[in-house]
Amino acid sequence: MSDLVSVEVEGGIATILLNRPPMNALNREVQAALAAAAVEVGERKDVSGVIIYGGEKVFAAGADIKEMETMSYTDMADHSGALQDFTKALSRIPKPTVAAITGYALGGGCEVALACDFRVAASNAKLGQPEILLGIIPGAGGTQRLARLVGPAKAKDIIFSGRFVSADEALAIGLVDEVVEAQDVYAAARARLAPYVGGPAYAIRAAKEAIDRGIEVDLDTGLEIERMLFASLFATKDRATGMTSFVENGPGKAKFEGA
């Protein structure tokens, strides 16, 4: 993969760790490694949830501007697809994902966080899309995912200005889901994923797909997506286990296999 991105698995939870000091700038190597890590954790049967973490000091302070500074239009036209592909890969991990945010999550770093299902931020975290200050716009999903998460007006405010958003404001507008002290960020991310370990993996996968695909289409199409995924779960062992356990023992006592 890369020395700049690693995958560790403990207790059913995978951690994708960024390790490019001092600011975890997302150069091409890091982008490719994140995409590869997303595929790996998505395929591993011993993984029920995924944390993306930049370490105790910083999540990711954006793309590598030195790498982009000399690129021409044709250079970026060739690369822009890959720039979006790595955040698409993260968003398509078929398991619950959490961005554990310490310090800065700016530009591409914020876009990585937006590609996750949940975001836990340190109380001193700063998030934002400051690309406008470089004369460009977000290019790894920021204009689309941010608007869908916080609404178009608030997304325009953040993107047009390039300003940094504090953890408290991020929580208030729904950009993050939880704010804790910096030393507690990783533990809080693990706690958020813990309920899914040992859960009905294919049902969770189907729920994520139904929501993520359904929100992009009209209601009737979304309902059809839900219907097909719902019916497909009747082919799983976990569906039989869950229903039999409910009938015999009441709710919440099933022991799932993830099959």
Tokens of 5: 């991105």
Catalytic residue among 56, 69, 131, 209: 131
Catalytic residue among 111, 209, 226, 248: 111
Tokens of 217: 């289409």
Annotated catalytic residue 131:
yes
Active site residues: 111, 131
